[in-house]
Structure 1
Amino acid sequence: MTHSDKFRLPAGALVAVCDGRRALFLRNEGDQAFPNLRTREVHEQDNPPTAAQGTDAPGRVHQSTGTARSAVETTDFHALAEAAFLRRIAERLEALLAAGEGTALVMVASPRALGVLRPLYGRAVQEALIGEVDRDMVKLPVYEIEKHVAA
């Protein structure tokens, strides 16, 4: 697998562009010489900030000996929701590729999202993956993504 930012995308290749809240699955409807990325699927998740999701004060723990107490770290609901979303994205990509819906795969995601996604790659994703781009491009228009990714 290469870590370049530009790839030769064969016809039918998928380009997955995602972060923790939004994912675009693009498919090369052109050929390797003249790629033409078209949107195949869009996935979005409403994920309000953690402050809006959990408003209780942190819990307290009593030590088993003595009178000392300590705070329990608050749950980051935002990070949990992002991880769950990325897990669903990885599962969807696996299903698409296992069904023969793509000839190859380029994953484009923020470094943080890639860190969550990599351990979730199934067999079909691992076999189809021709490269990764560790940049957040999910808000760019498709033609801009194409310019950044296609060689």
Structure 2
Amino acid sequence: MARTIPEGTLVVVADGGSARVFTNVGSAQQLTLKQEGELRLQDISETGISGQGPAGAVPKDMSIAQLNEATFAKQVAEQLNEDALNNRYAHLLLVADPTTLGRIRPLLHKETQARLLGDIAKDLANAPLADIQRSLAG
């Protein structure tokens, strides 16, 4: 069954180190994504991104890469929350690999959750635009 993605829907396609942000500039019947921007994992260090850490408790055996991925997921969630609270989008579709999606979901504000049309546990972060559109339209 094809999902309905209204015009203007914010589509975020993320993995542990990057997120591509799209808007559906087509109609609900004909998905047409336009890339608006890209978020990248930045300032990776021993202490995490820009001295930040992920949300919640950090397991002692977590690698630097895992720590940074969790911190990036927190930053993506914070940006989505800020944009929802400032009414910058009406609808949101979140696409991420299962691990990243699992890190973002619990951090979403109730206002963000209210705008969330759905989430898809699939790694499309490095996929060509045509593949992303085909995957979402189906």
TM-score bucket (shorter structure): 0.7 to 0.9
Q: 2:121 & 2:131 partners in 1: Cα distance?
A: 16
Number of residue-to-residue matches in the alignment: 126
Q: 1:97 & 1:77 partners in 2: Cα distance?
A: 30
Alignment correspondent of 1:25: 21
Q: TM-score, normalised by structure 1?
A: 0.74
Q: 1:91 & 1:34 partners in 2: Cα distance?
A: 30
Q: 1:97 & 1:36 partners in 2: Cα distance?
A: 22
Deviation of residue 100 (structure 1)?
Answer: 2.3
> Retained in 2: the 8 A contact 1:90–1:121?
yes
Please report the RMSD computed on the Cα atoms of aligned residues, expressed in angstroms.
2.2
Aligned-pair identity (%): 27
SS of the residue 2:12 aligns to: strand
SS of the residue 2:29 aligns to: coil
- Which structure has more RCO (C-alpha within 8 Å, separation ≥ 6)? 1
Change over 3 Å in CA distance of 1:119–1:33 after alignment to 2: same
Q: 1:140 & 1:74 partners in 2: Cα distance?
A: 31
Alignment correspondent of 2:106: 119
From the CA coordinates, give the structure whose radius of gyration is larger: 1
Q: Which amino acid aligns with 1:10?
A: P
Q: Which amino acid aligns with 2:6?
A: P
Q: 2:82 & 2:3 partners in 1: Cα distance?
A: 23
Q: 1:78 & 1:116 partners in 2: Cα distance?
A: 14
Q: Structure 1 unaligned segments of length 5 or more: list them.
A: 55-72
Deviation of residue 36 (structure 1)?
Answer: 1.1
Q: TM-score, normalised by structure 2?
A: 0.81
> Is 1:143 the equivalent of 2:130?
yes
